[in-house]
Structure 1
Amino acid sequence: MVESLLKFITKENLFSQEDELLLAVSGGIDSMVMAQLFLNAGIPFSIAHVNYNLRGDDSVRDRDFVVDWAKAHDVMVYVKEVDADAYDTNESIQMVARKIRYEFFESLMADHGYTRLATAHHLNDSIETVLLNLIKGTGPKGFRGIPVKNGYIIRPLMFANRDQIKKYAEQYNVEWREDSSNSKVDYQRNHIRHNVSPVLKEINPSILETFQDTLVRMEGAIELLESTAMDIRASHMKMDNGYEELGTNWVSNDKKSLLILSEILSDYQMNFRQIQDLYSCVLDGQSGKMFSSQTHSLNVDREKLIIKPLASELSDVEVLVYEGESIVRFANAVLQFRNVEMVEKLDQGSGVALLDANKIEWPLKLRNWKKGDKFVPLGMKGKKMVSDYMIDSKIPVSLKKDVLVVESNGAIVWLVGHRIDDRFKVGEATKSVLKIISTDAEVF
């Protein structure tokens, strides 16, 4: 199985020798087999474990088991202890636990230089995800299952199924801790695992192999859909006075057009039923019909859709900034934009943003931050809610409403006066730098 792991890592290009690996280890059979495989393969790694304190002494024993294993094998281990107060929210325990663990993982990566996080998901997990998506209703992307790679997250056991993992554990005396909640069928995933998957396997004993083949075909189909939708956006979408216009003269009476329109409008939180109704209006030429999602309003206007963000308690005014040196006034802020040559050292304070100019797509957009905004703070690998970042940075409530963002093609490049987005930072390959200065930093 070690050889299969190494082949899978190479085939999927999961990481390189330069990467620093962090393994998420719960103590269960999947994560313990993953850790043992990495150990046997001679791949350096560290371990992160979260003690959710949800199962009393069992949770403590899980933690001690993982810590003892790590110490016995000279592996660095980090432990997060979760207080009971953390679950006192309106969200489900599962959602709170997920948020806690990924915030913990991301903080470890930022503080200690880890570049890849490995989780122990495998083929059975992926097919269970697809079945859940089908039951709840899904578009084509729901057939992807669990991706092998997702940003900095890698899933090196996705070549194996549950039976293979258990066989390896028994053959090589890999110890693990059994989570009693895995046998309960009150969780949807466990219900599928214990009651649905066995029936499917009776019908098709080779279901996991055929499922893998189906995933490959679906991935190709989804990439084709995404590429087509991107081309449509590039040729039929434009900005006008702070809102977007999508030309619809390409829409025809076929399922292909409906699918592409669904892919484009999913960015605006439109559900499929709304998109079907909107699609019918476009085909029938019903101008003036309005549709709304939680974030946007869409107006069918002859051969175009006018898409506007909904007004919120924050200002919904936006200013477009075009390429070239300029000074822009917005609310109480004044920002200067200019390109500068790449030199060995460029001064960058809290009121100055230095960005790789080649990664910028014009025009830029200057606006207030809004609920749901995400970016990748400099030094981190994963996205973070702007609201969470401001809480962590202890920005006073009275100042939060005035925080601005600079946006490039839908991606935040700078939380003005606070942090740039890691994806747009200046690097060794940078040839030209976009420098943005606020009046808080220096006088023009």
Structure 2
Amino acid sequence: MLVEKVRRFIELHGLLRPGERLLVGVSGGVDSVVLLEVLRQLGYSLIVAHVNYKLRGADSDADEAFVRALCRQYRIPIRVARLNLKAKVRGGSIQAAARRVRYAFFARVAQREGIEAVAVGHHQDDQAETLLLNLLRGSGLEGLIGMAPVRPFEVGQKLRLVRPLLSVTRAEIESWARAKGLSWREDVSNTSLNYRRVLVRQVVLPLLRQHFGPNVAERLAHTAELLRAYWQSTFVQVLMQHWLSASESDAVGGYLRQEALAAMPRVWQQRLILEALKRWLPGAPRHRRLAWQVLRLLEAQPGRRLKLPQGTIWRDRKGLRFRRCAPAASISEEGMLEPGRPLVLEGGVFEAVLLSQKPACLNAGTPQVVYVDADRLQWPLWVRRWKPGDRLQPLGMQGHKKVSDLLTDLRVPVDRRAHSYVVCQGEEIVWVAGYRLAEPFRVRPETVHIAQLQFTPIED
């Protein structure tokens, strides 16, 4: 029954082609284990991806061992990423960082394997929880449409994320798993009320079921589905029309014209501010309070500005200018770099792009851009200031060289030298940003997949 229900959902939303080859994210929990089994029964050609974040010590290793054993049992290939996430994340949400790492790994594996779809185990209860959480945050329409059955990983990418279990409840999943004699792993963090989603799952939804009936999650998910239909059929088109009429992008941010904003209702003015923050100041908070602060700049004298950790917004004579820059004390000097997610640091913005085809010329014409063999990278990369003792094998050389000697030989001014960045894979340097690529990561004639790394310095 559950398999047939999932099959109909896949067909209804056009998630997958019959027999398509796809990547399945499997954590070892009941949702992902059932997803794997259902897709296997439906005849899809599968590869499993698993991330071991090392967050729970021996339990994390046991999860990995369980998923590996499951893949051996089913004779399904598996790809595993292992990293100490706590050591990589300084401040911010561990859960958000884990999600970024997980999706970046999925994208990398999919590209290497020539796969166009990644399946994850989100179900109907997850959808209801998402709607409630966003509602309590005071979200607008886009927060209330919940999770899409299918969406591109990034704008313009062919790779898509699919959620085949979105019409199935958690109770149905667990009941079916027990009936089939499936085994799975339990993550104790899923019961901790320190996390808001767990609080909604363990306290709020049971209370709603008690007073409003057992199918509360189904009704909430249906609401999200209706809102998504309205959003897709009208909202998106109007948003793009307004955006094109009011915005201009540039290399370090963009510009919103006051004349165009003034002709719009206040709700659309606020929405375009949020869109500008999303596109031009990655990582900046996108909420009503900040949008209101930005709009108030239009009532101020030219030159008035608003500083954020991710950049600066200021009023000029004809509108609002957004620029990715910030005071040194507000910005980190190191962080994770992954495709499609700009990394804003004190000295500039780093970006990584997975290319769909080999560029006509590997000389980008600027030292701030390099092309590397994507199959030799393990995402996420780590960007930091160079430190004494750092060494790399510079492009075209046989031996290794100290970064300090490289910068000296290139006659980099002393004041710049101390603030130069290196992009690393583990302890190995991939690129001294703006100066020299490491030989092991160069694009060779046999290279299949290519990534572009770019560094945009922030001017004082």
Task: Give TM-score scaled by structure 2 length.
Answer: 0.64
Q: Which residue number corresponds to residue 304 of structure 1?
A: 319
- Residues 142 and 242 of structure 1: is their aligned pair in 2 closer, same or farther, counting only changes over 3 Å? closer
Greater CA drift, 238-247 or 290-299: 238-247
Q: 2:424 aligned with 1:391, yes or no?
A: yes
- Residues 18 and 5 of structure 1: is their aligned pair in 2 closer, same or farther, counting only changes over 3 Å? closer
Partner residue of 1:279 out of 295, 304, 324: 295
- The answer on whether the counterparts of 1:25 and 1:48 sit within 8 Å (CA) in structure 2 is yes
Aligned residues with identical type, % of pairs: 25
Per the TM alignment, residue 303 of structure 1 is displaced from its structure 2 partner at its CA by 5.0
CA–CA separation in structure 1 for the residues paired with 2:309 and 2:118: 32
Which structure 2 residue ranges, 5 or more long, are not aligned?
Answer: 154-159, 329-356, 385-421, 453-460
Q: Which residue number corresponds to residue 266 of structure 1?
A: 277
Q: 2:218 aligned with 1:209, yes or no?
A: yes
1:144-167 Cα deviation digits (max 9, x unpaired): 323322323221111111111112
Q: Which residue number corresponds to residue 411 of structure 1?
A: none
Q: 2:45 aligned with 1:44, yes or no?
A: yes
Partner residue of 2:179 out of 167, 171, 183: 171
Structure 1 segment 217-236 matched on structure 2, within 5 A: 217-223=226-232, 224-236=234-246
- Residues 139 and 390 of structure 1: is their aligned pair in 2 closer, same or farther, counting only changes over 3 Å? farther
Per the TM alignment, residue 349 of structure 1 is displaced from its structure 2 partner at its CA by 5.1
Which structure 1 residue ranges, 5 or more long, are not aligned?
Answer: 314-344, 354-365, 370-374, 405-416, 426-444
CA–CA separation in structure 2 for the residues paired with 1:243 and 1:179: 41
- The answer on whether the counterparts of 1:377 and 1:384 sit within 8 Å (CA) in structure 2 is no
Q: Which residue number corresponds to residue 247 of structure 2?
A: 237
- Residues 253 and 368 of structure 1: is their aligned pair in 2 closer, same or farther, counting only changes over 3 Å? same
Q: 2:199 aligned with 1:191, yes or no?
A: yes
Q: Which residue number corresponds to residue 116 of structure 2?
A: 115
- Residues 231 and 146 of structure 1: is their aligned pair in 2 closer, same or farther, counting only changes over 3 Å? same
Q: Which residue number corresponds to residue 409 of structure 1?
A: none
Q: Which residue number corresponds to residue 350 of structure 1?
A: 362
Task: Give TM-score scaled by structure 1 length.
Answer: 0.66
CA–CA separation in structure 2 for the residues paired with 1:180 and 1:33: 19
Q: 2:257 aligned with 1:247, yes or no?
A: yes
Q: 2:167 aligned with 1:159, yes or no?
A: yes
Q: Which amino acid aligns with 1:209?
A: E
Q: Which amino acid aligns with 2:272?
A: L
Q: 2:138 aligned with 1:127, yes or no?
A: no
Partner residue of 1:400 out of 412, 415, 433: 433
Q: Which residue number corresponds to residue 145 of structure 1?
A: 146
Per the TM alignment, residue 56 of structure 1 is displaced from its structure 2 partner at its CA by 4.7
Per the TM alignment, residue 257 of structure 1 is displaced from its structure 2 partner at its CA by 3.3
- Residues 80 and 301 of structure 1: is their aligned pair in 2 closer, same or farther, counting only changes over 3 Å? closer
- The answer on whether the counterparts of 2:52 and 2:82 sit within 8 Å (CA) in structure 1 is yes
- The answer on whether the counterparts of 1:116 and 1:154 sit within 8 Å (CA) in structure 2 is yes
CA–CA separation in structure 1 for the residues paired with 2:42 and 2:57: 35
- Residues 303 and 201 of structure 1: is their aligned pair in 2 closer, same or farther, counting only changes over 3 Å? farther
- The answer on whether the counterparts of 1:226 and 1:263 sit within 8 Å (CA) in structure 2 is no
What SS class does the counterpart of residue 214 from structure 1 fall into? helix
Q: Which residue number corresponds to residue 290 of structure 1?
A: 305
1:322-380 Cα deviation digits (max 9, x unpaired): xxxxxxxxxxxxxxxxxxxxxxx998453169xxxxxxxxxxxx8957xxxxx999789
What SS class does the counterpart of residue 246 from structure 1 fall into? strand
Q: Which residue number corresponds to residue 342 of structure 2?
A: none
- The answer on whether the counterparts of 1:244 and 1:308 sit within 8 Å (CA) in structure 2 is yes
- Residues 347 and 91 of structure 1: is their aligned pair in 2 closer, same or farther, counting only changes over 3 Å? closer
- Residues 240 and 292 of structure 1: is their aligned pair in 2 closer, same or farther, counting only changes over 3 Å? same
CA–CA separation in structure 2 for the residues paired with 1:178 and 1:246: 49
Greater CA drift, 30-39 or 221-230: 221-230
Per the TM alignment, residue 93 of structure 1 is displaced from its structure 2 partner at its CA by 4.1
- Residues 253 and 65 of structure 1: is their aligned pair in 2 closer, same or farther, counting only changes over 3 Å? closer
CA–CA separation in structure 1 for the residues paired with 2:317 and 2:45: 60
Per the TM alignment, residue 23 of structure 1 is displaced from its structure 2 partner at its CA by 1.1
1:283-314 Cα deviation digits (max 9, x unpaired): x586554333334433334553334443788x
Greater CA drift, 113-122 or 248-257: 248-257
Per the TM alignment, residue 198 of structure 1 is displaced from its structure 2 partner at its CA by 0.9
Q: Which residue number corresponds to residue 257 of structure 1?
A: 268
Q: Which residue number corresponds to residue 181 of structure 1?
A: 189
- The answer on whether the counterparts of 2:127 and 2:221 sit within 8 Å (CA) in structure 1 is no
CA–CA separation in structure 2 for the residues paired with 1:212 and 1:62: 30
What SS class does the counterpart of residue 312 from structure 2 fall into? strand
What SS class does the counterpart of residue 218 from structure 1 fall into? helix
- The answer on whether the counterparts of 2:309 and 2:326 sit within 8 Å (CA) in structure 1 is no
What SS class does the counterpart of residue 211 from structure 1 fall into? helix
- The answer on whether the counterparts of 2:252 and 2:324 sit within 8 Å (CA) in structure 1 is no
Per the TM alignment, residue 33 of structure 1 is displaced from its structure 2 partner at its CA by 0.9
Q: Which amino acid aligns with 2:363?
A: G
CA–CA separation in structure 1 for the residues paired with 2:98 and 2:117: 20
Per the TM alignment, residue 34 of structure 1 is displaced from its structure 2 partner at its CA by 0.7
What SS class does the counterpart of residue 249 from structure 1 fall into? helix
CA–CA separation in structure 2 for the residues paired with 1:213 and 1:39: 27
CA–CA separation in structure 2 for the residues paired with 1:245 and 1:211: 38
